[in-house]
């Protein structure tokens, strides 16, 4: 049984199974571009028969560049852009997107413009493109460490890999670097904050120590032999 429900605004929050691309095709709208980074990773909690084409975890559907889009429909969350779950960013990004939608709806209400009028969906999708830009860049940069991951490496990827490797090594023993790294990972700070002088200096010092150009710090605890049953 099908029921017709009238609405001022329809939000597609259908996650990775979103049907908006098919709906657009059915309504003769142009097909949105999709950017996918094939990381060759899928999740399962028990043994299943693997589908012939497992879903790739990183994909972004470029709705904001479509020349036409139905008024009164917006796409949000994983339906707009989904990330490799290993980085734990999807829910933060979805929450930021919901806040962006709330802000835009409040602004439209203040202007007494219904959200199904021309331009609202397009402006909202442009706003979402900005929200996903940094987490997408963070996750794809890491994915590109693996040679089997297909896709065009952006300029500076090799440097970014080297720099973040230094950051990863430092996080094990330096609380300042660890805290700065977590703030970027949890989308509280921009990745550029990892290049502020206090962090940059630590990276350079770490590198110089590695090359033997500076003395290594003494370990806090000297090597000790542990004996006995630790099970």
Ligand X SMILES: Cc1cc2nc3c(=O)[nH]c(=O)nc-3n(C[C@H](O)[C@H](O)[C@H](O)COP(=O)(O)OP(=O)(O)OC[C@H]3O[C@@H](n4cnc5c(N)ncnc54)[C@H](O)[C@@H]3O)c2cc1C
Of 98, 94, 72, 68, give the one whose Cα is nearest residue 82. Answer: 94
HEC readout, the chain: CCCCCCCCCEEECCHHHCCHHHHHHHCCCCCCEEEEECCCCCCCCCCCCCCCCCCCCEEEEEHHHCCCCCCCEEECHHHCEECCHHHCCHHHHHHHHHHHHHHHHHHHHHCCCCCCCCCHHHHHHHHHHHHHHHHHHHHHHHHCCCCCCCCCCCCCHHHHHHHHHHHHHHHCCCHHHHHHHHHHHCCCCCHHHHHCHHHHHHHHHHHHHHCCCCCCCCCCCCCCCCCCCCC
Q: Using the rule CB under 6 A, which residue among 21, 70, 72, 85 binds ligand X?
A: 85
When asked if residue 14 is in the footprint of ligand X (CB under 6 A), the reply is yes
Specify the stretch interacting with ligand X by CB under 6 A; choose among 10-18, 23-31, 111-119, 148-156. 10-18
Q: What minimum distance in Å lies between the beta carbon of 97 and ligand X?
A: 8
Q: Minimum distance between the CB of residue 86 and ligand X, rounded to whole angstroms?
A: 8
Please report whether residue 77 would count as binding ligand X according to CB under 6 A.
yes
* 134 sits near ligand X (criterion: CB under 6 A): no
Q: Give the CA count within 13 Å in the CB-facing half-sphere of 209.
A: 13
Provide, rounded to whole angstroms, the least separation between the CB of residue 89 and ligand X: 6
Among 90, 115, 135, 191, binds ligand X (CB under 6 A): 90
Cβ 43 to ligand X shortest distance, Å:
4
Nearer to ligand X, 11 or 157 (CB): 11
Q: Does 26 bind ligand X (CB under 6 A)?
A: no
Residue 89 found at the interface with ligand X (CB under 6 A): yes
Question: Can residue 114 be called a binding residue for ligand X (CB under 6 A)?
Answer: no
Q: Single out the segment in contact with ligand X by CB under 6 A; choices: 87-95, 109-117, 125-133, 216-224.
A: 87-95
The distance of Cα 110 from the centroid of its chain, to the nearest Å, equals 31
Judged by CB under 6 A, which stretch of 34-42, 72-80, 144-152, 186-194 contacts ligand X?
72-80
Does residue 84 touch ligand X according to CB under 6 A?
no
Q: Is 78 near ligand X (CB under 6 A)?
A: yes
Q: Which residues bind ligand X (CB under 6 A)?
A: 13-15, 17, 43, 77-79, 85, 88-92, 94
């Amino acid at each position: 049984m099908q029921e017709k429900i009238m609405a001022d605004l329809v939000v597609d929050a259908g996650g990775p199974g979103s049907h908006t691309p098919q709906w657009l095709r059915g309504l003769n709208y142009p097909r949105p571009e999709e950017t996918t980074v094939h990381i060759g990773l899928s999740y399962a909690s028990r043994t299943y028969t693997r589908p012939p084409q497992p879903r790739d975890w990183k994909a972004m559907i470029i709705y904001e560049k479509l020349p036409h889009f139905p008024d009164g429909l917006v796409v949000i969350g994983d339906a707009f852009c989904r990330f490799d779950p290993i980085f734990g960013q999807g829910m933060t990004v979805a929450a930021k997107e919901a806040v962006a939608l709330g802000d835009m709806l409040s602004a439209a209400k203040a202007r007494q413009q219904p959200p199904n009028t021309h331009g609202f969906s397009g402006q909202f999708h442009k706003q979402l493109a900005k929200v996903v830009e940094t987490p997408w860049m963070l996750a794809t940069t890491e994915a590109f460490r693996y040679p089997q991951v297909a896709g065009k490496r952006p300029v500076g990827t090799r440097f970014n890999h080297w720099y973040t490797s230094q950051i990863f090594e430092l996080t094990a023993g330096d609380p300042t670097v660890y805290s700065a790294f977590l703030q970027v990972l949890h989308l509280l700070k921009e990745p550029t904050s990892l290049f502020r002088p206090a962090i940059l200096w630590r990276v350079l010092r770490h590198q110089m120590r590695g090359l033997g150009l500076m003395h290594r710090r003494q370990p806090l605890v000297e090597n000790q032999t542990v004996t006995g049953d630790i099970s």
